[in-house]
Amino acid sequence: MSDTSQRLSEIVNNSDVVLFMKGTPLFPQCGFSSRAVAILEHCGVAFDSVDVLQDMEIRQGIKEFSDWPTIPQLYVKGEFVGGSDIMMEMYEAGELQALMDEAQVAKAS
């Protein structure tokens, strides 16, 4: 395992919900990342975010780690869930909320 994938593995396993995004939840730098943050806020769950624009290794590495070409990317309990389109489809179907309930993730404070 490369250093980057080791780092990514630690990041996704060290918190229940992690969003890799461009920018921060307060200042998203891309419409897709902004939408992903809004969906998680609607779900009412606590989440950590990683700004890939601050770290080129993470930005490139996460695409290989998940075999997914775009950012944002959502992980719950170490499992890759999808990008913002999948998050939206799941949210509209009630599946994302169900996944969060099942995973028993912490609510946003």
- For other proteins, the binding residues (CB under 8 A) are 31-32, 63, 67-71, 80, 82-83, 85-86, 89-90
| Token code pair at residue 100 | 């969060």
Contact 8, 36 (CB under 8 A): no
* CB 70, min distance to other proteins, A: 4
- As to burial, measured by CB atoms within 10 angstroms (0-12 exposed, 13-18 middle, 19+ buried), residue 38 is middle
Between helix 84-92 and helix 31-43 the angle, nearest 10°, is 30
Please, which residue, 25 or 83, has the CB nearer to other proteins? 83
* CB 61, min distance to other proteins, A: 14
* CB 31, min distance to other proteins, A: 7
Please, which residue, 3 or 67, has the CB nearer to other proteins? 67
